[in-house]
Structure 1
Amino acid sequence: MKVELKSLVLIGALMMPIASIAAEGDSIETKLSDSVITTKVKAAFAKDKLVSATDIKVETDSDGLVQLSGTAKSKEEAKRAVELTKAVKGVTGVKDDIVVP
């Protein structure tokens, strides 16, 4: 069931209209690049057994800086999410705003 939910989240992320997630004034190339990085990070989360793709939000700015927010079940999950994000091509930095209750 968890794998199916992750798959649905990933499909939803891939189907989002690029125009709705891009900042106003950015070029089409920048918008596409940002959404590709975000999608790759979410896909990495969906493939990983420790990280919840539904509880951690991913946002990418036009410089490749990725902001992670939301909640993680443990410090290990939050740390793994940052590691996976840093490993994605095009990511220039990671801002970790993940909360561990």
Structure 2
Amino acid sequence: MEPNKVIARDYSAVLLESEYKMLTSGIEALLAGNQDRIRLETIEPFFILSIDKENEYYRFIIRFVENHLNTTFYKVNCNEEKLELFVKTSKSDLKDSKTSLGR
């Protein structure tokens, strides 16, 4: 594994369609310069994601809350190109999930 890179796999985490849309539209607004930061709180499992721009990088702070005593933090930095790819992939994943469900 390369230094300062993280891969988190939690297959129990599921975003609602509205949460996916809120996340992608928030990131697009951040990339367009219409806002400085986004924050998303999910219902189940409970986690908080915030993304803000720091110089030429975007900083993700992800906090998974299992209970009041057990919280896991991740901090990830990425450039604009990677953030744009993340949005594109997220939108594609949402579209593919709708297609597979026959919507």
Same fold flag (TM > 0.5): no
**Bigger Rg over Cα:** 2
As a proportion of its length, which structure holds more helix? 1
As a proportion of its length, which structure holds more strand? 2
Task: Provide TM-score, normalisation by structure 2.
Answer: 0.30
Task: Provide TM-score, normalisation by structure 1.
Answer: 0.31
